[in-house]
């Protein structure tokens, strides 16, 4: 592959402002343009491409916006070969140069071997790396070692609107011949050592509303004679987690998978420089002192984070207000074998118990607004072995076998609906800054990542 060719295309793709998060017609037009460009690129490779109309999305304010199409594409249907399906997304998080970007986020800019631009690592770079790996076989006039399918969407950053219904509908058609599914939508845990990801945490997002009345109160007129909603809410939020990060909801740890010796050894083998990790995070001290404890609490134990309070006075200045109603927001990252609906019951019961002890006359409502299951794979599956071998070939090293502390719902969705092995093969370094200002992918990661995917096809062919 000519790196210039790949870079030029990445530059073109980054230039498209395919922001799915801000619900505005101009961004939707850009998303449709992005999907059309990708479909065209795949057609030029010789793929059979279908752009599936996904209908439209009703927004809370009453407006309706079209959902960009999902691309289903296939290359080769040789029954003697294995079939690998690649999932990627071409929508991005919002980006504005005024928010602290050092360069225009929509102009791919190379500085010291780093390619800066929104979507460079999440997820346009990895999608193009896979396409470039396929086109390398085409350019050499070599047969593809495996049959390849693509499912590419444009709404991942907005929750993959309507994708699950499509996967369900296509499970006995488009996915029927698929043997393995590959996702490349996360990062290594180091700057130079490649990784394979075999698990992600789930997420249960909660709101807890405490209400006295619709309007706020003046603290001079009412302070001292009310059950104040804010005081109730602060007590409720303060009852959820202690200062060592331990979740105080009774029973929450009951279903957490027991720790095995084999698993502990996996953590020991991972390269993580704690000092460098702490410095790059700009944090004075973590809750734990060893690499193993840090990794376990990021990946295999649940965590609870408090995100904010709606309805509270948060402007500069001194306003003597008693909020009439407030909503606290928090979430729990779930791990195997925790169950979303069990967690919902445990959290609700705990908050009701704490609230009843306060004898408050206010009304409290607990809601779970999002429930996403954790995902874990079997690292002895064929494609994990193939990915390991491919990494050895290209990088000359064993990969870190990692989990991801965040949630990638699509992995669990494919595993549950399509019942096929899913592997996450990240290309980006730990400091790529996905979702952040100055997102980048290193030129080295982009080019070596393309080689890695090509090597992976060859290894899959051997193991199949």
Domains within the chain, CATH numbers bracketed: 7-201+374-463 (3.40.630.10), 202-257+300-372 (3.30.70.360)
Cβ density class 31-47: b for 16+ within 10 Å, e for less = bbebbebbbebbeebeb
Q: Give the three-class secondary structure for 332.
A: strand
**pLDDT at residue number 4:** 40
Q: In which band, very low, low, confident or very high, does the pLDDT at 129 lie, cut at 50, 70 and 90?
A: very high
- Cβ atoms 346, 249 nearer than 8 A: yes
What tens digit of pLDDT does each residue of 433-455 get? 998 999 999 999 999 999 999 99
Closest Cα to residue 401, out of 385, 412, 421? 385
**pLDDT at residue number 362:** 98
> What is the rounded average pLDDT of the residues 392-399?
97
Q: In which band, very low, low, confident or very high, does the pLDDT at 313 lie, cut at 50, 70 and 90?
A: very high
**pLDDT at residue number 61:** 84
Closest Cα to residue 421, out of 408, 431, 412? 412
**pLDDT at residue number 108:** 97
Q: In which band, very low, low, confident or very high, does the pLDDT at 138 lie, cut at 50, 70 and 90?
A: very high
Q: Is the pLDDT of residue 6 over 60?
A: no
**pLDDT at residue number 2:** 42
Which tokens belong to 306?
């408090």
DSSP secondary-structure letter at 398? P
Q: In which band, very low, low, confident or very high, does the pLDDT at 280 lie, cut at 50, 70 and 90?
A: confident
Known binding residues for Mn(2+) are: 89, 122, 157, 185, 435
Q: In which band, very low, low, confident or very high, does the pLDDT at 276 lie, cut at 50, 70 and 90?
A: confident
Element (H, E) at 456: helix 443-463
**pLDDT at residue number 3:** 40
Q: In which band, very low, low, confident or very high, does the pLDDT at 70 lie, cut at 50, 70 and 90?
A: very high
What tens digit of pLDDT does each residue of 148-202 get? 999 999 999 998 989 999 999 999 999 999 999 999 999 999 899 999 999 999 9
Residues serving a catalytic function are 91, 156
Cα 69 to Cα 17, 87, 394: the distances in Å are 16, 14, 35
Burial (CB count within 10 angstroms: exposed 0-12, middle 13-18, buried 19+), residue 369: exposed
- Cβ atoms 184, 97 nearer than 8 A: no
Give the C-alpha separation, 394 to 380, whole Å: 21
Give the C-alpha separation, 40 to 154, whole Å: 15
- Cβ atoms 333, 203 nearer than 8 A: yes
> What is the rounded average pLDDT of the residues 77-92?
96
Burial (CB count within 10 angstroms: exposed 0-12, middle 13-18, buried 19+), residue 244: exposed
> What is the rounded average pLDDT of the residues 31-45?
96
Which tokens belong to 106?
């929509």
What is the average pLDDT value for the chain, to the nearest integer? 95
Percent of the chain at pLDDT exceeding 90: 91
**pLDDT at residue number 416:** 93
Q: In which band, very low, low, confident or very high, does the pLDDT at 282 lie, cut at 50, 70 and 90?
A: confident
Measured over the CA atoms of residue 91, residue 97, residue 100 and residue 105, the dihedral's sign is: positive
> What is the rounded average pLDDT of the residues 294-318?
96
**pLDDT at residue number 297:** 97
**pLDDT at residue number 145:** 97
Q: Give the three-class secondary structure for 299.
A: helix
**pLDDT at residue number 460:** 96
Q: In which band, very low, low, confident or very high, does the pLDDT at 277 lie, cut at 50, 70 and 90?
A: confident
Q: In which band, very low, low, confident or very high, does the pLDDT at 232 lie, cut at 50, 70 and 90?
A: very high
Q: Find the DSSP H helices in 282-400.
A: 291-299, 340-357, 382-395
Closest Cα to residue 159, out of 20, 265, 37? 20
Give the C-alpha separation, 449 to 127, whole Å: 11
What tens digit of pLDDT does each residue of 11-33 get? 999 999 999 999 999 999 999 99
DSSP secondary-structure letter at 99? G
Known binding residues are: 89, 122, 157, 185, 435
Q: In which band, very low, low, confident or very high, does the pLDDT at 463 lie, cut at 50, 70 and 90?
A: confident
What tens digit of pLDDT does each residue of 285-302 get? 999 999 999 999 999 999
Backbone angles phi, psi at 300, to 5 degrees: -115, 0
**C-alpha 205: how far from its chain's center?**
15
Q: Is the pLDDT of residue 8 over 50?
A: no
Q: Is the pLDDT of residue 396 over 50?
A: yes
């Amino acid at each position: 592959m000519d790196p210039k060719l790949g870079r030029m295309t990445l530059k073109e793709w980054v230039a498209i402002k395919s922001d799915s998060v801000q619900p505005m017609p101009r961004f939707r037009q850009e998303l449709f343009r992005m999907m059309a460009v990708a479909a065209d690129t795949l057609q030029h490779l010789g793929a059979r491409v279908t752009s599936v109309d996904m209908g439209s999305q009703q927004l809370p304010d009453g407006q309706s916006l079209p959902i960009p199409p999902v691309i289903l594409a296939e290359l080769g249907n040789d029954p003697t070969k294995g079939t690998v399906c690649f999932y990627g997304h071409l929508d991005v998080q919002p980006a504005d140069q005024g928010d602290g970007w050092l360069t225009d986020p929509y102009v791919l800019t190379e500085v010291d071997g780093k390619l800066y631009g929104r979507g460079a690592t999440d997820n346009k770079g990895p999608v193009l790396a896979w396409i470039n790996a396929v086109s390398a076989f085409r350019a050499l006039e070599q047969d593809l070692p495996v049959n390849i399918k693509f499912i590419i969407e444009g709404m991942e950053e907005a929750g993959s609107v309507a994708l699950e219904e499509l996967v369900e509908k296509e499970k006995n058609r488009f996915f029927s011949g698929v043997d393995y599914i590959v996702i490349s939508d996360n990062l290594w845990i180091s700057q130079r050592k490649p990784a394979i990801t075999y698990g992600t945490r789930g997420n249960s997002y909660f709101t807890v509303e405490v209400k006295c009345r619709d309007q706020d109160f003046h603290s001079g007129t009412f302070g001292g004679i009310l059950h104040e909603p804010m005081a109730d809410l602060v007590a409720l939020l303060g009852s959820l987690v202690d200062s060592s990060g331990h979740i105080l909801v009774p029973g929450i740890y009951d279903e957490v998978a027991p720790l095995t010796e084999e698993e502990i050894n996996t953590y020991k083998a991972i390269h993580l420089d704690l000092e460098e990790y702490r410095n790059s995070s700009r944090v004075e001290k973590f809750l734990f002192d060893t690499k193993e404890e840090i990794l376990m609490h990021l990946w295999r134990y649940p965590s609870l984070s408090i995100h904010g309070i709606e309805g509270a006075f948060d402007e500069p200045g001194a306003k003597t207000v008693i909020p009439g109603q407030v909503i606290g927001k928090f979430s729990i990252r779930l791990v195997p074998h925790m169950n979303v609906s069990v967690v919902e019951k445990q959290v609700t019961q705990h908050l009701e118990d704490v609230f009843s002890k306060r004898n408050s006359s206010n009304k409290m409502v607990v809601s779970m607004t999002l429930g996403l299951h954790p995902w874990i794979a079997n690292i002895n599956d064929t494609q994990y072995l193939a990915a390991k071998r491919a990494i050895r070939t290209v990088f000359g090293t064993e990969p870190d076998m990692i989990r991801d502390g965040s949630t990638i719902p699509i992995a669990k969705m494919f595993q549950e609906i399509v019942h096929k092995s899913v592997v996450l093969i990240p290309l980006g370094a730990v400091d790529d800054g996905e979702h952040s200002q100055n997102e980048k992918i290193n030129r080295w990661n982009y080019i070596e990542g393309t080689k890695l995917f090509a090597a992976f096809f060859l290894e899959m062919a051997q193991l199949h």
